[in-house]
Amino acid sequence: MLADSHVHLDDRDFDADRAQVLQRAQDAGVLQLVIPAVDAASWPRIRDLCAAHPRTLFPSYGLHPVFLRQHAPGDVAALSAWCARNDTVAIGEIGLDFAAAGLDPAAQRDYFERQLELARECDLPVIVHARQALEEVILTLRRHPGVRGVVHSFSGSEEQARRLWQLGFLVGIGGPVTYERAQRLRRMVASMPIEFLLLESDAPDQPDAGHRGQRNEPAYVLDVLRHVAALRGEAEQSVAAATAANTRRLFRLPEPV
């Protein structure tokens, strides 16, 4: 049994064949999937999608930094009200992105801080995006003790990963680990404590090396698993069981059916 801890299955790229994509995921053993939001407009879509697949798809609601221009001043208050009315396993996807052009860093920081405060108030984990901003993300998380979660698509150093683990955060690993050029990431994955490891697809983005240039799918988490297990010199079944258990523990998911 595998879990995909981060997949945008609501994305329009899946509109033509979403049911088949989900079936291929289940055929690959990916039985539980966490669906993070990017903006307020996506919240109802994700709610309805997950409601149609209980115990398989699990919603997370948040305001992604890359979609800053689509956020409105009242969206954090709206997020709080939304989470009070609707089941959610996390606040996310939230964070900082200093690589995307034209996104006000001060506004990103404000949304990030307020959503971290909301997560603490709601006792929910966070799903964090950190692109060219990991150091600041770590420093920000330190100012919010007690907040737990995952930094998805982790690409930092082993030292930065250790600091996240000390804060109680996990790291999400997906397609990038399958590329030979990702030597630093592969070294970290080979030796890191498995209790801090989550597997993810980030579909439709970040396909593994075997599907380079194609639309990513949650079924391809199986390819990520195979690379991670080989790097660690461990049985695939053992890594699958441990990372799926980590996903259930962090997001308080039920046992799969």
Any idea what the CATH number is for the domain that residue 71 is in? 3.20.20.140
Q: Which residues face 97 on adjacent strands? A: 131
Q: Examine the pLDDT at 238 and tell me if it is beyond 90.
A: yes
Find tokens 């692109």 and name the residue. Answer: 131
Question: Does any domain span residue 11?
Answer: yes
What is the rounded distance in angstroms from the CA atom of residue 170 to the CA atom of residue 201? 16
Q: Is residue 219 part of a domain?
A: yes
Count CA atoms closer than 13 A to 201's CA, side-chain side: 31
The single residue listed with the structure tokens 């080979």 is 190
Q: Answer yes or no: is 99 within a domain.
A: yes
Query: What pLDDT does residue 36 have?
Result: 98
**Is there a domain that residue 257 lies in?**
no
Supply the pLDDT for residue 257.
78
- Asked if residue 60 is part of any domain, the answer here is yes
Provide the number of structural domains found in the chain. Answer: 1
Q: Which long-range contacts (CB under 8 A, 24 or more apart) does 17-21 make?
A: 21/217, 21/218, 21/219
In a domain, 25, yes or no: yes
Q: Is residue 256 part of a domain?
A: no
pLDDT for 57: 98
- Using one digit for the tens of pLDDT, what is the confidence trace for 17-72? 999 999 999 999 999 999 999 999 999 999 999 999 999 999 999 999 999 999 99
Backbone angles phi, psi at 14, to 5 degrees: -100, 5
Average the pLDDT over 131-160 and give the result: 97
Residue 96 lies in a domain: yes
Domain limits for position 236: 2-251
- Residues 145, 192: contact at Cβ < 8 Å? no
Q: How far is CA 127 from CA 132, 149, 187, 203, 209, in A?
A: 16, 6, 24, 15, 24
Q: List pLDDT tens digits, range 176-216.
A: 999 999 999 999 999 999 999 999 999 999 999 999 999 99
Average pLDDT of the residues of the chain: 97
